[in-house]
Amino acid sequence: MLVDGIGLLATGDPQRGAGPLGTIPDATVVIDGGRVAWVGPSRSLPEAAGEDRLDVGGRCVLPGFVDAHTHLLFGGERAEEFAARLAGHPYTAGGIRDTVAATRAATDDELRRSAGRLATEALRGGTTTLEVKSGYGLTVDDERRLLEVAAGLETPGLPRVHRTFLGAHVVPPEYAGRADDYVTLVCDAMLDACAPLAAWCDVFCEQGAFDTEQSRAVLYAGKEHGLGLRIHANQLGRGPGARLAAELGATSADHLTHLTDDDIAALAGAGVVATLLPAAEFCTGSPPAPARRLLDAGATVALASDCNPGTSYTTSMALVVALACRTLGMTPDEAVHAATAGGAAALGLDDVGRVVPGHHADLLVLNAPSPVHLAYRPGVPLTWAVLRAGAEAWRAP
Ligand code: NIG
Ligand code: FE
């Protein structure tokens, strides 16, 4: 099959075209077996490239977004907490326990419907790969249940789903004052039950959640259970999370709102992907993460939504790109690259995030002439069509 009539193709590979996004004007993409088989200027299209065509009418095509950090699995919502924050109450992560109570009370069907609605919303916004965390169950059965619901999201009409175990999100109320006992539960029975359902282990390393030793114990146990490592680090203040990510060789450290120069050097030196979440900073009124300092230090930067009911109730990667340009000082090319190829790096994936031969043919067709419009037209739905594995997963009405 061919996708042609592409006014501007952002391949994500600087070797293949102009600028950091490797853009090619007047391009065609050839798809075979759900994978990209050829990309290039339409005038160089090989003969016998296929009959089945999708003409996108001069629009811009980019890789589907890879949203490498979400908490899509939860019951209830926290609009009142958000309104209180607008009235001046700071975010302290205390509301996580409200969502834990609502999640435990929700039926499997309710959780499936709510997660399915958010995954559908993400797809329509151009996301074709989605990381999904547990973390609002915090019992062995509830954490396993959340990961089972996430496994059920894996259908061709939704984004590809990668599952993360976040049993160490906060200490649940029944373990108040006994954090170390809860960490033991996470490291033993909870990981035994959940590791077979997940690829990644995450921990919220922050004052009020888990300290360095507790976080290290959880991540070691996750590694022993065969999981890759990621960390919620330096979100609410300076702390040890970023350096722990570097010490343990985590694939990604996420949030990173408050970093010292030493933290930045440690992350860049260890090759930890810095996953930045500007929508969470926007919704909590926090300062912006030091994206420019990270980029200048040579770190790989990813952008993700952090979709969750407390700090960032959005699935919109277009909004995230717009915020990254305006609040983090990233160029549109850097932001789109971080939201696609960067997200893939944060998930250790080498077959999504770019439009190059061998990659899954996961494409976002924008109702716009260039990716700059994602930032230039904030809040406007620009999706014309989304392809997953070469098949149209959604087309704007
Ligand atoms: O990534 N920081 C920890 N977890 C979420 C917030 C969760 C919540 O407030 O419900 C985050 O921002
Ligand atoms: Fe998060």
CA dist., res. 281 & res. 293, Å (int)? 17
Distance 49 CA to ligand 1 centre (A): 47
By C-alpha distance, which of 269, 328, 18 is closest to 338? 328
The predicted model gives 190-201 an average pLDDT of 98
What's residue 51's pLDDT?
77
Query: Does ligand 1 come within 6 angstroms of the Cβ of 283?
Result: no
Query: Does ligand 1 come within 6 angstroms of the Cβ of 257?
Result: no
By C-alpha distance, which of 336, 388, 316, 393 is closest to 9? 336
The predicted model gives 317-333 an average pLDDT of 98
What's residue 49's pLDDT?
65
Tokens standing for residue 201: 């282990």
Tokens standing for residue 124: 């329509």
Query: Does ligand 1 come within 6 angstroms of the Cβ of 204?
Result: yes
Query: Does ligand 1 come within 6 angstroms of the Cβ of 99?
Result: yes
Which amino acid is present at 283?
A: C
- pTM (whole model) above 0.95: yes
The predicted model gives 181-197 an average pLDDT of 98
Sole residue written with tokens 């006994």: 178
Distance 314 CA to ligand 2 centre (A): 12
Taking CA atoms, 276 is separated from 51, 233, 238, 337, 387, in Å, by 42, 11, 15, 13, 26
Tokens standing for residue 247: 């010490």
Indicate which residue's Cα is closest to atom 11 of ligand 1: 311
What's residue 59's pLDDT?
98
Distance 72 CA to ligand 1 centre (A): 11
What's residue 203's pLDDT?
98
